[in-house]
């Protein structure tokens, strides 16, 4: 009977910890420490004195309006991304489409879900801007002026559509495994008991998928709430959302109150943190149901 020596066990333990050490150091330096610095800075003023002034400053009309606009944009893009992404994922998993459609859509989703920032803003301006390709095509070929309808890319609606470009693929990527987890035996059992397709989805499919749907929607909400590069490149400072207001406070061109910026960041951390915690809890619950 071979029993590993304590020396060998210790060596393996050290090797295991060394393997994850780079990630832990990276997370500590670029995630944990900056977060703690922001949280601490929210409770001090520029003179280094402890104060709640920055926290109370979050309840001014301008900042509350920025949070409300950010929440609306995040909710709208998350809802649109969840609905469209669900039907796309359903089509490639349960819709009987050819396998190459699934592989192609998942590959595109993996790329598009990470396509954001200045390139995404430029792509939408070049497509749906006042002189964009689609705008000019509709005007020249069909006599339809998109902007005469009140549409404006540099607005709440335009930013929501832009966010949905990476929200929909992210929904597809996360929800596809959940749809794959629906067992054929459940469908066959419901059919053998005389249930219709609608009854199966209402009483079996959707209740099982509901934690995944809700959890992924919360993840999409958090994903949009923290985005700044796309919004700033697309709208500049014309749309008062929290990430842009935070950037203006810390950058210091006109506004310069970094400690108020830290308080803004603290509010964002709380909102996105709650969303992510609920997503993790719902995901664990969905995985437990599907086992």
CATH number (domain holding residue 105): 1.10.3720.10
**What CA–CA distances, in Å, run from 212 to 183, 258, 281?**
16, 38, 10
Is residue 241 in some structural domain? yes
Percentage of the chain lying above the pLDDT 70 cut: 93
* Within-domain flag for 169: yes
Tell whether 51 is covered by a domain: no
Write down the H helix ranges in the chain: 6-27, 33-41, 53-57, 61-94, 99-112, 118-128, 133-142, 156-180, 184-192, 197-200, 206-225, 229-235, 242-251, 258-290
Tell me whether residue 45 is in a domain.
Answer: no
Q: What is the pLDDT of residue 74?
A: 94
Predicted pLDDT of residue 290:
60
- pLDDT value, residue 65: 92
pLDDT of 38 > 90? The answer is: no
- Would 33 be classed as within a structural domain? no
pLDDT band at 160 (very low <50, low <70, confident <90, very high): very high
Residue 5 counted as domain residue? no
- Would residue 30 count as lying in a domain? no
Q: How confident is the model at residue 125 (pLDDT cuts 50, 70, 90)?
A: very high
* Full domain range(s) for residue 208: 61-290
DSSP helix/strand/coil, 249: helix
For residue 4, pLDDT beyond 80? no
Task: Specify whether the CB–CB gap between 246 and 265 falls below 8 A.
Answer: yes
**Has residue 200 been placed in a domain?**
yes
How many domains is the chain built from? 1
Sort 171 into a burial class: Cβ within 10 Å, 0-12 / 13-18 / 19+. Answer: buried
6 confidence band (pLDDT: 50, 70, 90): low
């Amino acid at each position: 009977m071979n029993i590993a020596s304590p020396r060998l066990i210790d060596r393996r333990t050290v090797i295991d910890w060394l393997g994850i050490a780079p990630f832990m150091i990276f997370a500590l330096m670029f995630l944990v420490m900056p977060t703690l610095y922001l949280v601490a800075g929210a409770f001090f003023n520029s003179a280094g004195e402890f104060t709640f002034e920055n926290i109370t400053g979050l309840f001014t009309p301008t900042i509350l309006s920025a949070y409300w606009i950010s929440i609306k944009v995040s909710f709208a893009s998350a809802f649109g991304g969840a609905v469209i992404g669900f039907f796309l994922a359903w089509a490639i998993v349960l819709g009987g489409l050819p396998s190459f459609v699934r592989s192609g859509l998942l590959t595109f989703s993996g790329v598009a879900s990470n396509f954001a920032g200045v390139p995404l803003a430029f792509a939408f301006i070049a497509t749906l801007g006042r002189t964009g390709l689609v705008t000019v095509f509709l005007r020249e070929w069909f006599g339809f002026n998109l902007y005469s309808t009140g549409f404006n890319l540099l607005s709440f609606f335009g930013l929501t559509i832009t966010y949905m470009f990476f929200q929909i693929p992210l929904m597809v990527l996360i929800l596809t495994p959940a749809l794959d987890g629906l067992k054929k035996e459940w469908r066959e059992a419901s059919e053998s008991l005389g249930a219709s397709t609608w009854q199966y989805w209402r009483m079996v499919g959707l209740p099982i998928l509901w934690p995944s749907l809700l959890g992924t929607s919360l993840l999409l909400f958090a994903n949009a709430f923290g985005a700044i590069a796309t919004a700033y490149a697309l709208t500049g400072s014309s749309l008062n959302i929290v990430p842009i207001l935070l950037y203006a406070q810390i950058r210091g061109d006109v506004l310069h109150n970094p400690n108020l910026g830290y308080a803004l960041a603290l509010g964002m951390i709380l909102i996105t943190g709650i969303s992510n915690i609920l997503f993790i809890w719902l995901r664990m619950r969905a995985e437990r149901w599907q086992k």
